[in-house]
Amino acid sequence: MREVCMLQRFELINGALKQAESDKSTVWVYINPDNDENELISVTHDIDKHTVESALDPDEISRLEFFENEIHIIWKRPKNYLSSDNLLFGVSSIGLFLLKDKLVVVLPEDIALFDSKQHCGTLMDIIINFLYNSIRHYLDHIKAMKIISREIQVKLNTSMENEYLIQMFNLSESLIYYMNAITSNLTVLIKLRNHFEKAGNDPDRLEKMEDIIIENNQCQKQAEIYSSVLSGLMDARGNIINNNMNVLIKNLTMINIIFLPLNLLASIGGMSEYSMMTEGVDWRLSYGIFMLAMAVLGFITLWLIYRINKMSRAPKRIKQSLIAKIMRKK
């Protein structure tokens, strides 16, 4: 069931946003509007309905449009992560519409839009601070992906199921979405920087835009590098699961080999022939000797298998010893 659209209004007072209820508020925030509510937003604030709908389309690319005394921005930001997403981090679109005397924000979900610690002198400062905060949000998510990936790697070392491998695929897919969104956002940042540069009336704002572009480029580089590393190791991590299965089959085969001769002797001992061979001997003694013989045979078989495995690992130990000798010479 769809949540009802929420409307929040704010006033910019002494560099901080304060919630207000006046129809003359300077900041209007619409959360999760439907088609009829999009129509109302379009009529109330004189914004093209298609542009309003684009702000809620997760597949819409970032863009910046200039009109007379107006700036319309479609921006990509990370979605709020839910535990039910199974490590799939998504991206959503939002709309920032700077009109002549107010700022209209259209969101698909309820998020922390403004940082109370940041000073905002104008409505444009609110937009710039939001763009910067969303880039930091991307960086925080990428750091979280790195931590999650390491935890999954530890579990993959002993796992024989596809669950953790699927989670790794989800992380890799999320990074691709992030790279596409961050690259799309860079176009908006460059156009906005060029707009301030042409205006030339606020060097501090221009400098801040330069810093935001640098931050976005660093975020993009981190996402690209980590996506490349994650994709390159996917096959290796899949092979780890296959190797774990092979080790399990090997251990089960060893157990089967150990019990094969024991089963043979137990089958013979369970027949009347063994009783005939030990006729005249107390059954407690004869069958006690029989059980002891099976235990000895089992340990001998286990020792032989252990020696075979030890010999198969000998080249690796020789290589390690050679490396140790070389390091000591250095």
User: What are the residue ranges spanned by the domains of the chain?
Assistant: 6-232, 240-329
Q: What are phi and psi of 319, to 5 degrees?
A: -60, -45
User: What are the structure tokens assigned to 96, written together?
Assistant: 């920032």
Reported as a single tens digit per residue, the pLDDT across 258-313 is: 777 777 766 665 555 666 667 677 777 877 777 787 788 778 877 877 777 666 55
Reported as a single tens digit per residue, the pLDDT across 187-239 is: 999 999 998 888 776 788 888 999 999 999 999 999 998 888 887 776 666 67
Q: What is the DSSP string of 169-208?
A: HHHHHHHHHHHHHHHHHHHHHHHHHHHHHHH-S-HHHHHH
Give burial (CB, 10 Å; 0-12/13-18/19+) of 287: middle
**E strands of 68-220, at which residues?**
70-78, 91-98, 103-107
Reported as a single tens digit per residue, the pLDDT across 116-135 is: 666 677 888 888 988 999 99
Q: What are phi and psi of 162, to 5 degrees?
A: -90, 0
* Residues 107, 29 contacting (CB under 8 angstroms): yes
* Residues 123, 26 contacting (CB under 8 angstroms): yes
pTM for the model: 0.71
So what's the pLDDT on residue 1?
42
- Number of other CB atoms surrounding residue 311 within 10 Å: 9
Q: Which helix H or strand E contains 13, and what residues bound it?
A: strand 6-13
In one-letter notation, the amino acid at residue 197 is E
Per the rule left: phi > 0, alpha: psi between -120 and 50, beta: everything else, 87 is left
Residue 83 has pLDDT above 90, yes or no: no
Question: Which of 3.20.20.220, 3.90.105.10, 3.30.460.20, 3.40.50.150 would CATH assign to domain 6-232?
Answer: 3.30.460.20
Query: Is the pLDDT higher at 15 or at 178?
Result: 178
Q: State the chain's mean pLDDT as an integer.
A: 80
